[in-house]
């Protein structure tokens, strides 16, 4: 199939795109929708003549555009959604009064056969909503009446309803359907760009035609890639909800792990398509936390490190730092366990200044200190700093307690001793924990007030 798109500029037709291939009609619809132009299935269908048709777009003086085809609208009795005024041609009115000729029985039989054949092509949606699921390829084998795009939307709604009523019955089928849709649009993205890699596809010389160039050059990236990401995201969310039903709500950690891994794999697919959304970290964090809760801290660490790479918000990083601390403590990595918990608490303090009371953080500090078997670490230094800022300690008391911590081993303790005991300005004190900057600034402020 070939589609040529023209713009009517003044009295001249200017070619703006040429699309070839079996999916040309679908890609043309996406192009028109992106321009905000009305697209009807009947409009597209009536333009198909053999394997070639054209699209006309008119540009007005104010820059607005519209889809035009006078012959189409004349046949439909409308023009851009407005009905044509009734014709008052006497001759045509007289023709309507004439008695129609009797149709031949053969014609009636043929019409009946065609109608029956058309009815047989209709897809029974209820038969496609089943616990084992359905794929796009299976849907296409059933036929494409109604159009595939409309059928997908209807099936999405039906699968969603079935899943909400009986989540564990329809979970696998719903996820299979969503992943199949993601894979379908991923394949179309590859066909449109001519390369599996989004980075390579971004090179103009790799485009197959002018439409492909426009498609990948969009600000938000390829529409096909975005659709694939959207379906992978939905599948990952369903898989995560199912996992939480199995564990901890139920007592089946093995089943929960299967779905958490599925969600993490889907997150990897989204990342490969250029997705960098702020929710990606949750899929890795959930899986890593599950490993920790099932006594596999060694497996949890690399997954949580990956979660940290995609945890862009402070709240997300607070959670991941905390969980990394527990894993390192469980594995006996004392310095890493202390460092990550200090970063988690400092970051929480930075965005929630109302929690300057050390009592709010005591439980976490005591837990990790007990796990690593050492009370004189940067976690004690952190507790002293919080108590000092909260007014629970004087400068002399804070200094006396800090000196009990070996500053050669613990960087936060060394920084605080220079600030509180040595009177060195913060700007002259090197510190490694960027998350603790707000707390250190408050420590200096309290020193200056005393």
How much is the pTM? Answer: 0.70
Q: What is the pLDDT of residues 288-332, one digit of tens each?
A: 999 999 999 999 999 999 999 999 999 999 999 999 999 999 999
Q: What is the pLDDT of residues 424-434, one digit of tens each?
A: 999 998 888 89
- pLDDT number for residue 435: 93
Give the count of beta carbons closer than 10 Å to the beta carbon of residue 208. 14
Sheet with 2-9, strands from edge to edge, namely: 12-20, 2-9, 52-59, 65-67
Q: What is the pLDDT of residues 103-118, one digit of tens each?
A: 555 545 455 444 444 4
Q: Tell me the average pLDDT across 231-256.
A: 94
Residues shown for the chain: 450
Are residues 110 and 4 in contact, defined by beta-carbon separation less than 8 angstroms? Answer: no
Q: How far is CA 149 from CA 89, 118, 140, in A?
A: 41, 19, 11
With a cut of 80, say whether residue 80 has pLDDT above it: no
Q: What is the pLDDT of residues 121-168, one digit of tens each?
A: 456 677 889 999 999 888 877 654 456 777 888 899 999 999 999 999
Place of tokens 């862009």: 312
Q: Tell me the average pLDDT across 198-225.
A: 48
CA distance 155 to 125: 7
Q: What is the pLDDT of residues 362-384, one digit of tens each?
A: 999 999 999 999 999 999 999 99
Confidence band, pLDDT 50/70/90 cuts, at residue 220: very low
Q: What is the DSSP string of 432-444?
A: S-GGGHHHHHHHH
Comparing 359 with 220, the larger pLDDT belongs to 359
Give the count of beta carbons closer than 10 Å to the beta carbon of residue 161. 12
Token readout for 352 is 């929630």
What's the whole-number average pLDDT of the chain?
A: 80
Q: Give 29's contacts (C-beta < 8 A, 6+ positions apart).
A: 39, 44, 149
- pLDDT number for residue 181: 94
Domain map of the chain by residue range? 2-85, 123-275, 290-450
Place of tokens 């020193």: 447
- pLDDT number for residue 100: 55
- pLDDT number for residue 75: 55
With a cut of 50, say whether residue 19 has pLDDT above it: yes
Flag the least confident range among 41-50, 228-237, 379-388: 41-50
Q: What is the DSSP string of 100-167?
A: PPPPPHHHHHHHHHHHHHHHHHS--HHHH--TT---HHHHHHH--SS-HHHHHHHHHHHHHHHHHHSH
With a cut of 80, say whether residue 252 has pLDDT above it: yes
């Amino acid at each position: 199939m070939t589609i040529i798109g023209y713009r009517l500029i003044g009295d001249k037709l200017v070619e703006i795109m040429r699309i070839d291939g079996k999916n040309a009609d679908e890609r043309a619809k996406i192009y028109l929708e992106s321009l905000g132009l009305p697209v009807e299935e009947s409009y597209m269908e009536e333009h198909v003549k053999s394997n070639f048709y054209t699209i006309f777009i008119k540009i007005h003086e104010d820059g607005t555009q519209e889809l035009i085809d006078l012959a189409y609208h004349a046949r439909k009795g409308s023009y851009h959604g407005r009905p044509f005024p009734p014709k008052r041609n006497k001759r045509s009115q007289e023709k309507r009064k004439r008695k129609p000729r009797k149709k031949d029985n053969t014609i009636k039989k043929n019409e009946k056969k065609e109608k029956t054949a058309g009815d047989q092509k209709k897809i029974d949606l209820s038969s496609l909503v089943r616990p084992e699921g359905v794929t796009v390829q299976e849907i296409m084998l059933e036929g494409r009446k109604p159009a595939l795009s409309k059928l997908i939307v209807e099936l999405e709604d039906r699968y969603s309803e079935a899943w909400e009523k009986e989540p564990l019955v329809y979970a696998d089928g719903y996820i299979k359907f969503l992943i199949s849709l993601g894979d379908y649009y991923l394949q179309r993205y590859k066909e449109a760009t001519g390369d599996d890699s989004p980075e390579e596809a971004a090179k103009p010389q790799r485009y197959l035609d002018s439409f492909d160039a426009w498609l990948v050059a969009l600000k938000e990236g390829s529409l096909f890639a975005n659709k694939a990401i959207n379906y992978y995201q939905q599948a990952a969310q369903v898989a995560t909800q199912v996992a939480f039903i199995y564990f901890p709500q139920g007592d089946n950690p093995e089943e929960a792990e299967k779905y958490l891994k599925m969600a993490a794999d889907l997150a990897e697919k989204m990342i490969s398509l250029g997705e960098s959304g702020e929710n990606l970290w949750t899929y890795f964090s959930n899986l890593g936390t599950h490993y920790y809760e099932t006594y596999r801290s060694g497996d949890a660490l690399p997954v949580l490190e990956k979660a940290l790479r995609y945890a862009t918000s402070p709240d997300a990083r607070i959670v991941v730092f905390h969980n990394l601390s527990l894993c390192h403590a469980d594995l006996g990595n004392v310095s890493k366990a202390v460092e990550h918990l200090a970063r988690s608490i400092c970051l929480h303090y930075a965005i929630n200044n109302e929690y300057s009371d050390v009592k709010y953080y005591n439980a976490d500090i005591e837990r990790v200190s007990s796990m690593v078997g050492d009370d004189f670490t940067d976690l004690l230094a952190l507790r002293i700093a919080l108590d000092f800022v909260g007014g629970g300690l004087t400068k002399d008391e804070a200094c006396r307690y800090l000196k009990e911590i070996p500053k050669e081993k613990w960087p936060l303790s060394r920084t605080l001793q220079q600030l509180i005991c040595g009177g060195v300005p913060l700007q002259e004190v090197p510190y490694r924990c960027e998350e603790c900057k707000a707390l250190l600034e408050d420590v200096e402020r309290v020193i200056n007030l005393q």
